[in-house]
Structure 1
């Protein structure tokens, strides 16, 4: 990406068509449940167990099978390090327990196949990803076309919210097992920090 920005010639890394596969752990019954069918008829030593590793992939925008809820669709599979097997294997939706295949070609999936992200997709997205934590040379928020030396943005606190320790599940958000951080928060409203009290009433008094 640096060479491209400088107008220099670039070469493909050679693995740009490989699916982006992540490793995560089976840390809850909700994750273990859809994998239990894979244990049927197996000896204990060969079974998938809690806290074992598993692999997960990331569906490309508009790559979900038709009719599924993108916020409640995430594919997982038994741990496999051989990249040649990833596209051959059957993947299980963590939420519905249904089986799907994955592909890295075409703009979208079909009823039984999900179009997943490749390393090439990730590199392309990263090159135009707006860095929300930074500002450009003029102090304005970064956008997709921002380039050059960045600087830190000024931060102004708008509101303070108390959340429970359920926010520990944010690790699962980062790995993609949960697609929305809002789903793991338990908020405890403080009447003293209500927007009506802290913003609207002071504005009306002016």
Structure 2
């Protein structure tokens, strides 16, 4: 990639067409559960056990087997460092326990085969991936075509949210075991610091009471109690007042 950027000839490594296979650890029951059929009938010494290593690969867009849910599909296999065997191995879907083969040459996935990324695909994606933590020379967020010296982006705190320790599963997202990052968070709502208290209510207090009465559809007494913090409107009225907030912000 560096040589290409300088217009110099680059020599291929020779493994670009092989499946891009990574290594994961059997670190939770969710990982080992689909392997029950593989372990069945084997002595314990030959079974896949907690903290053993597994292989994992990454399915290309539109490469999932027909009928599979892309958000709940992840292939794993017993650890094998012989790359010549990866296309011949039966891979197991972590969620369903079904077995599949993998391919790097098909156009899409089939009923029992998944189309997976190669090392060449991963290198190409890395070369053109947007660097979300950085800005370009003019301070704008980076995109896939940004080149040149980057700088750190400025961060402004918009709102404080409390999340649970499920964020420990961020490593599973990076490893590909969890495909949707939003699913690992548990948010704990603090009504004293939510959007209503920190954003909407301060603006409503600055708007004329006549405007709130005419556009909000609430009584004068109800609006006075809301603005004073003595009561909180139900969801429908919150949406109505938020629309006034958006117009008045």
- Which TM bucket (shorter chain)? over 0.9
Name the residue aligned to 1:40.
40
Query: Shift of residue 34 of structure 1?
Result: 0.7
Matched, 1:12 2:6: no
Name the residue aligned to 1:184.
184
Separation in structure 1 between the aligned mates of residue 114 and residue 56 of structure 2, nearest angstrom: 13
Q: Which runs of 5+ in 1 are unaligned?
A: none
Could you state the TM-score of these two structures normalised by the residue count of structure 1? Answer: 0.95
Query: Shift of residue 177 of structure 1?
Result: 0.7
Name the residue aligned to 2:62.
62
Name the residue aligned to 2:91.
91
Per-residue CA deviations over 1:61-94 (Å, capped at 9, x if unaligned) read 1111122111100001111111111110000000
Could you state the TM-score of these two structures normalised by the residue count of structure 2? Answer: 0.80
Name the residue aligned to 1:107.
107
Larger RCO (CA within 8 A; separation ≥ 6): 1
How does 1:49-198 map onto structure 2 within 5 Å?
49-198=49-198
Aligned residues between the structures = 206
Name the residue aligned to 2:31.
31
Using the TM superposition, name which of 196-205 and 51-60 deviates more. 196-205
Q: Which runs of 5+ in 2 are unaligned?
A: 208-249
Separation in structure 2 between the aligned mates of residue 128 and residue 182 of structure 1, nearest angstrom: 24
Separation in structure 2 between the aligned mates of residue 30 and residue 191 of structure 1, nearest angstrom: 34
Larger Rg: 2
Query: Shift of residue 146 of structure 1?
Result: 0.6
Separation in structure 2 between the aligned mates of residue 102 and residue 188 of structure 1, nearest angstrom: 41
Q: Secondary structure of 2:56's match?
A: strand
